[in-house]
Amino acid sequence: MDIQQVIRQMTLEEKISLCTGADFWHTKAMPQHGIPAIKMSDGPHGLRCQEDAADMIGINDSIPATCFPTAVTAGATWNRELYAREGEAIGKEAAAAGVSVVLGPGCNIKRSPLGGRNFEYISEDPYFAGKMAAALIRGQQSTGASSSLKHFAVNSQEYKRQNGDSQLDERTFREIYLTAFELAVKEAQPGTVMCSYNKINGIHASDNKELLTDILRTQWGFDGLVVTDWGALNDRIEGFKAGCDLNMPGGSKFMEKAALEAVRSGKLDEAFIDASVERVLRLVDKSQSISQTAVDWDAHHALAQQVAEQGAVLLKNEENILPLTESDTVLIGHMAGNLRYQGSGSSHINPTKLVSITQALPHVPYAPCGDGLGNVTEEDLRHAAEMAKQRKVAVVVVGLPDSYESEAFDRAHMRLPEGHNALVEAVADANPNTVVVLLGGSAMALPWADRVKAILYMGLPGQAGGEAAASLLTGKVSPSGKLTETWPYAYEDVICKDTFGKKNTEYREGIYVGYRYYDKAKKAVRYPFGYGLSYTAFTYSNLTVCGRKVSVEVKNTGAVSGAEVVQLYIAPPQGGLFRPVRELKGFERVELTPGEAKTVEFTLDDRSFAIWKDGWKIPGGTYTLQIGASSRDIRLEQHMEVPGEELVAPAWQSGSWYETLSGAPTREEWEQLMGHPVPVTAEPQKGQFTMDSTCMEMKEHSFIMKVQYKVTESIIAKSFGGKKDLDDPAYRMMITCATDCPMRSVVISSGGMMSDSLAQGMLHMANGHFFKGIKAMLKK
């Protein structure tokens, strides 16, 4: 396609229109200019490709595809090469389904264990998340498909994700919340980046020129297309100016009209629109060369199993109770027969096959003892205890039920269902050899951890999760996964516990996220970042540093083959501008047979030492290079003199929380960090509502919004057999997405059911202007 020629032939109306989707999944075709439509579908851990007529309501209806382990499990492999192979497999399935863009990976930072989408994200550590995301993108794009790196940026909670404001200081923004995106963009050049719903310091991501142009394109060299998250566009004019190209899913005639008028009146330079059109056309053009190859579904299932095996984390294994012998074992727990293998929301995949743990261990006696919601009766407990006594080892499978974590809402707490805790306790009372297999997308409180002999954390292991659990339990494969987020003892230990989950979220803890907080605060944790056991053992020796090259020897000293994840941390000098006690700057997974040793090599770069202070700068001084098996298990270390600048700490830092990490940061301290006072925004009241307000926010003040809520509820309930069941995460997600999203977004995503004039009219009414509302509704 001669893109410039096509742009010259297009009318202004056509150009604006091309920058809005045709429907839920397609861009617009313009045959008069030889422009075909292209299709996008969700990732990130498999293809959620809906038939052409489908929309958001049919969230669980999609064509069969391989459900790979979710990012919590795939990330825990620390295996870039394997993750790239997963990406390649997803790319092939996309090509076979006629999909050009796969919406993933997600590399938002896991700030709190309660984040509803933690299971879809890779880590609490930005370096790690970025490196792994780059691997997935590389694999995916090797097939011709384009990835969509999401959700850019600072989208670390689900509560009010569509109109909330993430408030943070520049250093934290750069070092923690942008770094993962930066690495993935620079290393793998995803075809598209998806901007998030939320505001960042008061500016919507979609309107944010600093984010989408200055940082993403100018500083990082991104040359692809920016697509909105579905319904995230706030303002078409500001969006064009900011470099936000494609508005999905469509249905925003009013925004197009506004852009047209703005060009005509000279408020918007047509060059912005041309630049976006060019990027849309480049993506469309590139998509034409995707070639389909036959999909080997069995091979993809086997790959999903391999990822699940490498991503499972052995948290505890007292007296080497694992691996076990099948004939000596009983299986207990609803989830053993009904594997919780993926999360709810837009990443929900219709698997080609699904193997539970009981199916993978058909000769092991089994008792479900409980239901899918985590309820367990007294009778279940009695039965579980009886079963547990029948064999040498009792394996209890528990975890977070579907209703506990999902896109669109955060977890209410860090606990397991009470029924699951009771079940583990009852089994542990009956059998001293109790093993727990744990399923769920993020850290959980484990009150019984000291009472059981082993804990195998499978995360959400995808469609082959049952087979993976079986081969790990029986020792066909030695566990090698390591945690990519710290597991605190309880939610009370989480530093952002008081600021997480608010509409305007103050990121007061700054750069002290995950182990950066726990390690410097010397807080005891249940399991540290990077932690995971094996059926074998490894020793580390010969740490050599030569300039920026580092090497270390790792040896398997145990009796079985296994893999170790070697982690390189940099411990910066303390005393100047505040810094964490260590930060991950390299990792390698190495497979070793018994007695075998291998040398692992790393290369450091300037960023390994740098911090953000009006640019990336290296504070000079003595750094310590640490090689560890987790952030709390440093095996070898060596000092390094690193030349750099002297960065003077501001006077306010002395004795502040950011230096001491004692207690929690106050608002005043955080404002010092921000560099200015941060006004507290009051919730808008009747008379102040705007198109950024949601039906949920307005319904208490307005009859029309109450009606709107009820109508939406019944429309959604219809596709759930009339049931308004908040324990069904798909229903809860739908109702939240539809009623707690800004009015502008309802128009964009409603597939034509809500016109702009109707929305404007309702808004006037909600603001107490009934007749103005009627007038607006009658406007064509």
Q: What is the 3-state secondary structure (H, E, C) of 601-652?
A: EEECCHHHCCEECCCEECECEEEEEEEEEECCEEEEEEEEEECCECCCCCHH
The contact set with ligand BGC (CB under 6 A) reads 42, 103, 150, 229-230, 346
Output the smallest distance, CB 346 to ligand BGC, in A: 4
| Cα–Cα distance list, 728 to 116, 724, 731 (Å) | 14, 9, 5
Query: Distance between CA 129 and CA 146 in Å, rounded?
Result: 19
Measured from the CB atom, the residue of 397 and 408 that comes closer to ligand BGC is 408
Per-residue tokens: 119 = 């299971």
Strand partners, 626: 569, 637
Output the smallest distance, CB 314 to ligand BGC, in A: 31
Query: Distance between CA 308 and CA 302 in Å, rounded?
Result: 10
Sign of CA dihedral 709, 723, 103, 184: positive
Burial 418-443 (b: 16+ CB within 10 A, else e): ebbbbbbbbbbebbebbbbbbbbbbb
Measured from the CB atom, the residue of 15 and 150 that comes closer to ligand BGC is 150
Angle, helix 179-188 to helix 126-141, in steps of 10 degrees: 30
Output the smallest distance, CB 118 to ligand BGC, in A: 14
Output the smallest distance, CB 324 to ligand BGC, in A: 39
CB count in 10 Å sphere of residue 188: 24
DSSP character at residue 139: H
What's the order of all strands across the beta sheet hosting 549-556? 538-546, 549-556, 597-603
Output the smallest distance, CB 252 to ligand BGC, in A: 16
Per-residue tokens: 61 = 């209806």
Burial 707-743 (b: 16+ CB within 10 A, else e): ebbeebbeebbeeeeeeeeeebbbbbbbbbbbbbbbb
Measured from the CB atom, the residue of 249 and 514 that comes closer to ligand BGC is 249
Measured from the CB atom, the residue of 103 and 315 that comes closer to ligand BGC is 103
Measured from the CB atom, the residue of 62 and 208 that comes closer to ligand BGC is 62
Measured from the CB atom, the residue of 608 and 745 that comes closer to ligand BGC is 745
Residue 35's region, left for phi above 0, alpha for psi from -120 to 50, else beta, is: beta
Measured from the CB atom, the residue of 347 and 431 that comes closer to ligand BGC is 347
Chain-centre distance of CA 181, in angstroms? 12
CB count in 10 Å sphere of residue 497: 18
Query: Distance between CA 632 and CA 623 in Å, rounded?
Result: 18
| Active-site option among 23, 165, 229, 692 | 229
Q: C-alpha angle with apex 286: 283 to 292, nearest 5 degrees?
A: 120
Query: Distance between CA 525 and CA 551 in Å, rounded?
Result: 29
Helix, strand and coil percent figures for the chain, each rounded to 5: 35, 20, 45
Measured from the CB atom, the residue of 199 and 635 that comes closer to ligand BGC is 199
Measured from the CB atom, the residue of 231 and 399 that comes closer to ligand BGC is 231
Chain-centre distance of CA 59, in angstroms? 18
Per-residue tokens: 681 = 């925004």
Please give the residue whose beta carbon sits closest to ligand BGC in the complex.
Answer: 346
Q: Check: CB of residue 231 under 8 Å from CB of residue 55.
A: no
Burial class (CB in 10 A: 0-12, 13-18, 19+), 355: buried
Q: Check: CB of residue 218 under 8 Å from CB of residue 182.
A: no
Looking at residue 766, its amino acid is A
Output the smallest distance, CB 63 to ligand BGC, in A: 15
Measured from the CB atom, the residue of 103 and 153 that comes closer to ligand BGC is 103
Strand partners, 552: 600
| Cα–Cα distance list, 179 to 168, 482, 661 (Å) | 15, 21, 23
Measured from the CB atom, the residue of 545 and 696 that comes closer to ligand BGC is 696
Output the smallest distance, CB 748 to ligand BGC, in A: 12
Question: Which among 630, 559, 550 is positioned nearest to 594, based on CA atoms?
Answer: 559
Q: C-alpha angle with apex 511: 506 to 513, nearest 5 degrees?
A: 85
Measured from the CB atom, the residue of 229 and 756 that comes closer to ligand BGC is 229
Active site residue 298: no
Measured from the CB atom, the residue of 147 and 358 that comes closer to ligand BGC is 147
Output the smallest distance, CB 360 to ligand BGC, in A: 31
Output the smallest distance, CB 678 to ligand BGC, in A: 27
Q: What is the 3-state secondary structure (H, E, C) of 399-448?
A: ECCHHHCECCECCCCCCCCHHHHHHHHHHHHHCCCEEEEEECCCCCCCCC
Output the smallest distance, CB 723 to ligand BGC, in A: 22
Output the smallest distance, CB 253 to ligand BGC, in A: 21
Sign of CA dihedral 315, 496, 631, 466: positive
Question: Which among 474, 529, 83, 105 is positioned nearest to 306, based on CA atoms?
Answer: 83
Output the smallest distance, CB 56 to ligand BGC, in A: 7
Output the smallest distance, CB 247 to ligand BGC, in A: 13
Return the active site residues. Answer: 229
